[in-house]
Amino acid sequence: MGKLIRRVVAIMCIFMMVISSTAVVDAEETSAQNIGKVTVTNAKAGEVYKIFKILTLESYDKDKGIYSYKRNGDAWDRFIDTNGARKYIKTNNDGYVTFKDEQKNEIGARNFGLLAMEYAKNNNIKPTATATATDGTDAKVVFDHLPLGYYLVETSSGRACSINTTTPEVEIRDKHASPSVSKLIASGGTISNNKKRNSMNRGDNVFFETIINVKPYVTNYVLHDYMDSYLKYDSVLKDGIAYYSNEKSESLKRKSLKKGTDFVATTNTNDGCNFHLTFTDSFYEKYQAEIDSGDLTQIYIKYLAKVKDDAPIDTPIVNTSYLTYGDNSKTEESKTETFTYRIPVYKYTGYKKALAGAKFILSKNPTPTEENALKFIQSGSNYDYNKKGNVTLVSYSDGKININGLQADTYYLKEIEAPKGYNLIKTPIKIIVTSDVDGKGVVKVDDQVVNQVDVLNNTGSLLPSTGGMGTTLIYAIGSILVLSSGIILFLKRRKK
């Protein structure tokens, strides 16, 4: 009897162990099924991604395609009740949430996600989790151990990356298209073909143009611009221009953006920039839909600067733009270079001897006159271009005239007064100023590159004058001839 009891107890223990182990397995499987995972592929390396749980997934049957969503019981419940959210979703009497049939598509989900992202920002809703994309070409972000639900993934650039359901795992491909800027020279001086480099006269104005390449679902654009100390920032023009990519309608190709209404330019910056240009809430209300649809792709911002009178010669004067957007994302910088050049002149006489006191004028007109001549301010042998200066250039004691602060162009140097005793050069000297591959100035005379423009002056010689030794000699010779003739005549008569 005792043995029988022991056998029954043993069988019962084994049975209990089997039941217990089965329960543990079921519990683990159930727990695993309730844990979600979201993997973001094609992520932008180094960018921060946030994930928000908007709805709770109570249960689902993936094969039948049926899902049961309910509210979280947190701050997102208030979002579900907003008029904006009700455009996309509805709640039945039992509290379950479903998408409206007419919005049950990718566009509806995208717009709902953007609405949710804006709500989270305005109401300081903290993300369920945050992660930074790994470095490398295959950058990705993994959000693990998530309660099952309907999730919004947002990037630090301010883009709604995706909205999706954990069932229990889902993979999202980030179709990131980051904004960018391109800085160009709109007008002023002599401009290169790619509009990234120019040369200027000192004191003249240059118009810069920055193109902002906007991208869908990105907000919070701020244009930053900082200039070399030899550029003086003037102002952003009153109206920027927004160019549209829609070729079907002429009216959509460009629209003016109003300063003060659509954007604000601020010079009180704390990062060394000359100005920040920020787009207003009014701008996003009017244009965000066109940006998101891909109709509005570029915004052109033009502004004015002045090349200072002390700008260096053959040195790039740099202007830089970049864009910040989203939470803390930044584009690469885009730069332009501005140069100003010199024409060195050497006035000399025979054997390369320096000749002082020769006077010239410089003009862009092939027929130079004082009316069309350029003006300069003198300091020793240096003549700095300045519209308030004088037109006359005078060779210094070392024979030099250093003409500074000019843009690349064709010039004509004319001598208007030679030093006393020297011949005046009547034909103007044609001088061409260009730039090399590095942007530095190149001076040419007669299509030959020269280090300086050499100008030779020759002296004149003294010519005979009336009443001098030349007439006396003629009279003397004449008298000798007359006297000789008389003697010959006298001797002939005596012989006879």
Q: Distance between CA 258 and CA 261 in Å, rounded? A: 5
Return the exposure string of 397-422: e unless at least 16 CB atoms fall within 10 Å of the residue's CB, then b. eebbbbbbbbbbeebbbbbbebbeeb
pLDDT given at position 117: 85
Asked whether 259 and 302 are in contact (CB, 8 A), the reply is: no
pLDDT given at position 396: 95
Is it the case that residue 428 has pLDDT exceeding 90?
yes
Backbone angles phi, psi at 217, to 5 degrees: 65, 20
Is it the case that residue 477 has pLDDT exceeding 70?
no
Is it the case that residue 325 has pLDDT exceeding 70?
yes
Q: Distance between CA 323 and CA 157 in Å, rounded? A: 11
pLDDT given at position 253: 64
Asked whether 181 and 322 are in contact (CB, 8 A), the reply is: yes
pLDDT given at position 244: 61
Identify the CATH class of 180-339.
mainly beta
Q: Distance between CA 464 and CA 131 in Å, rounded? A: 101
Q: By mean pLDDT, which of 66-75, 123-132, 291-300 is the weakest? A: 291-300
Q: What is the number of alpha carbons within 13 Å of residue 84 lying toward its C-beta? A: 12
Facing residues of 362 across strands? 413
Mean pLDDT of 336-361: 95
Mean pLDDT of 307-326: 94
Is it the case that residue 473 has pLDDT exceeding 50?
yes
Cα 206 from chain centroid?
14
Q: pLDDT higher for 374 or 19?
A: 374
First to last CA, the chain: 208
Q: What is the DSSP string of 278-292?
A: EE-HHHHHHHHHHHH
Mean pLDDT of 394-399: 95
What is the sign of the dihedral through the CA atoms of 102, 106, 110 and 116? positive
pLDDT given at position 180: 92
Q: Is there a shared CATH topology between the 180-339 domain and the 341-456 domain?
A: yes
pLDDT given at position 478: 65
pLDDT given at position 14: 41
| pLDDT-based confidence at residue 24 (cuts at 50, 70, 90) | very low
Q: Which long-range contacts (CB under 8 A, 24 or more apart) does 421-425 make?
A: 421/459, 421/460, 422/349, 422/355, 422/358, 422/457, 422/458, 422/459, 422/460, 423/457, 423/458, 423/459, 423/460, 425/455, 425/457
pLDDT given at position 381: 92
pLDDT given at position 490: 64
Is it the case that residue 136 has pLDDT exceeding 90?
no
Q: pLDDT higher for 388 or 296?
A: 388
This prediction has a pTM of 0.69
Asked whether 80 and 97 are in contact (CB, 8 A), the reply is: yes
| pLDDT-based confidence at residue 434 (cuts at 50, 70, 90) | very high
Segment 157-175, tens digit of pLDDT:
666 567 788 888 888 877 6
Q: What is the CA radius of gyration of the chain?
A: 44
pLDDT given at position 25: 36
pLDDT given at position 26: 38
pLDDT given at position 111: 82
Task: Calculate the dihedral angle through the C-alpha atoms of 158, 182, 134, 218, rounding to the nearest 10 degrees.
Answer: 10
Q: By mean pLDDT, which of 91-95, 236-240, 291-295, 454-458 is the weakest? A: 236-240
Q: Comparing C-alpha atoms, which of 214, 260, 252 is closest to residue 236?
A: 260
Q: Distance between CA 225 and CA 236 in Å, rounded? A: 11
Q: Comparing C-alpha atoms, which of 49, 24, 133, 120 is closest to residue 79?
A: 120
Architecture of domain 341-456: Sandwich (2.60)
| pLDDT-based confidence at residue 11 (cuts at 50, 70, 90) | very low
pLDDT given at position 29: 37
Is it the case that residue 23 has pLDDT exceeding 60?
no
Contacts of 255 (CB under 8 A, 6+ apart): 241, 242, 244
Element of type H or E holding 172: strand 169-173
pLDDT given at position 259: 86
Q: Distance between CA 428 and CA 362 in Å, rounded? A: 9
Mean pLDDT of 352-371: 96
pLDDT given at position 9: 42
Q: What is the residue type of 138?
A: D
pLDDT given at position 482: 63
pLDDT given at position 455: 95
Q: By mean pLDDT, which of 31-40, 331-340, 461-470 is the weakest? A: 461-470
Segment 177-204, tens digit of pLDDT:
778 999 999 999 999 999 999 999 999 9
Q: Where are the domains of the chain?
A: 34-173, 180-339, 341-456
Segment 90-135, tens digit of pLDDT:
999 888 999 999 988 877 887 888 889 889 988 999 999 999 887 7
Q: Distance between CA 190 and CA 227 in Å, rounded? A: 19
Segment 216-257, tens digit of pLDDT:
878 889 999 999 999 999 877 666 666 665 555 555 567 788
